[in-house]
Amino acid sequence: MENIKVVLWGLGSMGSGMARFLVDKKGIEIVGGIANRESKAGKDLGSLLELDRELGVEVTNNPEEAITGDVDVVLHATTSFLKDSFPQLKLIIEKKVNVISIAEELAYPSAEDEELTEKLNLLARENGVSVLGTGINPGFVLDLLIITLSGACATVDKIKASRVNDLSPFGPTVMKTQGVGTTVEEFNKGLKDGSIVGHIGFKQSIAMMADRLGLELDEIKQTREPIVSKTHRETPHVKVEPGMVAGCKHIAYGIKDGEEVITLEHPQQIQPEKEGTDTGDYIKIEGVPGIDMAIQPEIPGGIGTMATAINMIPQIVKAVPGMLSMKDLPVPSAMMGDVRKLVEDLV
Amino acid sequence: MENIKVVLWGLGSMGSGMARFLVDKKGIEIVGGIANRESKAGKDLGSLLELDRELGVEVTNNPEEAITGDVDVVLHATTSFLKDSFPQLKLIIEKKVNVISIAEELAYPSAEDEELTEKLNLLARENGVSVLGTGINPGFVLDLLIITLSGACATVDKIKASRVNDLSPFGPTVMKTQGVGTTVEEFNKGLKDGSIVGHIGFKQSIAMMADRLGLELDEIKQTREPIVSKTHRETPHVKVEPGMVAGCKHIAYGIKDGEEVITLEHPQQIQPEKEGTDTGDYIKIEGVPGIDMAIQPEIPGGIGTMATAINMIPQIVKAVPGMLSMKDLPVPSAMMGDVRKLVEDLV
């Protein structure tokens, strides 16, 4: 079997991070890199990634140039949204190349737009390729991992899970979209005008779980509240005084017959330790048996997303054509050997 | 789609437990029950299970009678061992029926006997059916769940996991095979003569993980030690005085270049709380990122095994023919809706 040929579309922190991990994987060959910024075009990917060697791959702004028919997988990291992804995915699919995207809404796109999802699905089938959205969340902690744990349950009554993380390492964009450093008034205004968004992906996670477990939910509800700080908190990018907003507490509910069958919480803030909050991923299943899981600290978002996406390469190469989700495929695993052997071993 | 037709082979505590969970599942129909004991034959399965209704299924001692061509899956719960299972599996497979077995060695049978596994694999393929071994351990906690968590890691250096449980609810057979209530001398003698065995399944779990992660291990080593009690411990079936053996500490190592890449511990004893030991399932992955997971208390062994096995019914109905393992298929999930819909939704 030949090396698996991968193109990176999007060379921001996520795309570059995935590329850095992939250059060390046996059986994988990066054959193209598509950057948004013009200043990156023409550079060797190795120097763009600050590796100690050139990779012989010239970064381009032109997807048509990078994605040729013998590419096996495009790793897509340009946006969070289905609508913005669509024309890019269409281009990839029509070149008859598989896609793994970290766009949050692609983790379970039918939760966002059934019609566009079916279009993608048909397009993928017509062209004989597979499309998958994944990442740490949605895609792993608050959906695939819960589904997996429920596999040891004969019955499930309720699911409550939370992902408590620390936004301190992130830059100004994340501070703005999570409302860090605002007043409560500014926060509420930001929610209304859409500049403060909280987490993207709850609808996807809840719909994926509900479909897999056969829970027939009536609706999905979401609430977003300011996390008002009692203490002084500070990062290189933002200062939060007591009474100001340290982050966004975003909660989503999957409701059936008026009851919250699924509750997912994702409070995102800077310096949660300042008020005694331990970060972690927590999953509690009420059922037979009950399961109470904790991962402390939480699986880090950035690396976790890069890892989950690259680790699905063997599965997507082997998968049946169509628009797929994490619940449909064998689970990812760290790729420590020859990735071609992993592909061959998948049934 | 018609109801999924299931036969239970083995109606001890595991087989009966699976049957009790299955009678409430929509889209599944129990059409046969095979018991080992003659005294059970001729009874209605419903009364054998102590349900409040008859099921219209007569328990038999004769597998030939129960397993007809229109059965979809046999749930096999008669033994822990591959060799003992083989003639029974052969009979099922030649009737062109899929099998899910809770025999520990079947979770990854090639770790026990490659030749016999290949025979099973060929037989299954010739007859167009799928064979899967599963259960809580091996099959879930110390293999599938670790594989899944490693899916969020870009690299894995070492895996250390332990399953700390309480044997107190179990009967005299388990006390004997784990050496509970023996002197240290008797324990060591029991290890030598094979009457004390510890956990069955470490080789399977380690080989499954190593193959999936692409770790090329040199060897698998195991140690079994007596857990010598410092306190008085007692259950309805056994008494342990200080200085006597409260259980068996079984450890397995997956070794590469002299280093323990995988370490799995499974100390099994009665009343671990008497010496301040909390029961739980613990997984620690050293890698990028590191992951530190705890499930407290542990997922219970009995119900967990029943649940894991029944929850793989949709996957095995849909799977490609052959001898499969948990790493090959989409993960199990609790079946709370119509199981036929789950089957249809699997890609």
Chain B nearest C-alpha distance from A28 (Å): 14
Note the pLDDT of residue A170: 87
Q: What is the mean pLDDT of chain A?
A: 97
Put simply, whether A131 touches B (Cβ < 8 Å) is no
Q: Cβ(A242)–Cβ(A229) under 8 Å?
A: yes
Give the model's pLDDT for residue A171: 87
Chain A nearest C-alpha distance from B65 (Å): 29
| ipTM field | 0.97
CA distance A180 to A203: 23
> Chain A partners of B137 at a C-beta cutoff of 8 Å?
none
> Where residue B171 falls among pLDDT bands split at 50, 70, 90?
confident
Sheet holding A98-101, edge to edge: A28-34, A4-9, A73-76, A98-101, A130-133, A322-324
Mean pLDDT score across all residues of chain B: 97
Q: In chain A, which ranges are continuous DSSP H helix?
A: 13-22, 45-48, 63-66, 82-94, 114-126, 144-150, 172-178, 184-193, 202-213, 301-311, 313-318, 339-345
| Interface touch B152/A144, C-beta < 8 Å | no
Q: Answer yes or no: do A331 and B331 touch at CB < 8 A.
A: yes
Asked if pLDDT for residue B2 goes beyond 90, the answer is yes
pLDDT for B334: 98
Single out the residue of A31, A32, A23 nearest to residue A52, CA to CA: A23
pTM (predicted TM-score): 0.98
For residue range A240-268, what is the model confidence (pLDDT) as tens digits? 999 999 999 999 999 999 999 999 999 99
CB spacing of B145 vs A144 below 8 angstroms: no
Cβ neighbours of A293 in B, within 8 Å: 293-295
| C-alpha span between A136 and B152 (Å, rounded) | 7
Q: Which of residues 157-216 of A touch B (CB under 8 A)?
A: 211-216
User: What does the alpha-carbon distance between residue B102 and residue B304 come to, in Å, rounded to a whole number?
Assistant: 11
Choose between B347 and B33: higher pLDDT.
B33
> Do B92 and B82 meet the contact criterion of CB atoms below 8 Å apart?
no
Q: Is A228 touching B (CB cutoff 8 A)?
A: no
- Tabulate helix, strand, coil % of chain A (nearest 5): 35, 30, 35
Question: Are the beta carbons of A309 and B187 closer than 8 angstroms?
Answer: no
Picking from A147, A320, A342, the nearest residue to B347 by CB comes out as: A320
Check residue B170 and give its pLDDT: 87
**A183: distance to nearest CA of chain B, Å?**
34
The confidence score (pLDDT) of residue B205 equals 98
| pLDDT score of B280 more than 90 | yes
Answer whether A346 sits within 8 Å of B328, measured CB to CB.
yes
Do B347 and A322 touch, CB atoms closer than 8 A?
A: yes
Instruction: Give the residues of chain A that fall short of pLDDT 70.
Output: none
Specify whether the CB–CB gap between A128 and A96 falls below 8 A.
Answer: yes
**B307 and A CB contact within 8 Å:** yes
Q: How far is Cα B184 from Cα B241, in angstroms, rounded to an integer?
A: 12
Helix H or strand E segment including B10: none
Tokens describing residue A63:
């997807």
Q: Is the pLDDT of residue B69 over 90?
A: no
- B311 and A151 in contact by Cβ < 8 A? yes
Taking only the tens place, the pLDDT of each residue in B14-65 is 999 999 999 999 999 999 999 999 999 999 999 999 999 999 999 999 999 9
Size of interface A-B (CB pairs under 8 A): 193
| A154, A291, A347 member nearest B310 (Cβ) | A154
CB contact under 8 A, B151 and A216: no
pLDDT tens-digit readout, B209-246: 999 999 999 999 999 999 999 999 999 999 999 999 99
Joined together, the tokens standing for residue B313 give 């019914």
Nearest CB to A337: which of B215, B308, B346? Answer: B215
With a CB-CB cutoff of 8 Å, which residues 45-84 of chain B face chain A? Answer: none
Residue-level pLDDT at A7: 98
- Nearest one of B246, B152, B158, B263 to B202, comparing CA atoms: B263
The predicted structure's pLDDT at residue A69: 82
Per-residue three-class SS string for A283-338: EEEEEECCEEEEECCCCCHHHHHHHHHHHCHHHHHHCCCEEECHHHCECCCCCCCC
In terms of CA atoms, which chain A residue is nearest residue B135?
A152
List CB contacts (< 8 A) between A347 and chain B: 319-320, 322, 324, 328-329
Distances (CA, A) of B116 to A96, A315, A344, B86, B328: 41, 28, 22, 8, 19
Separation CA A250–CA A269 (nearest Å): 11
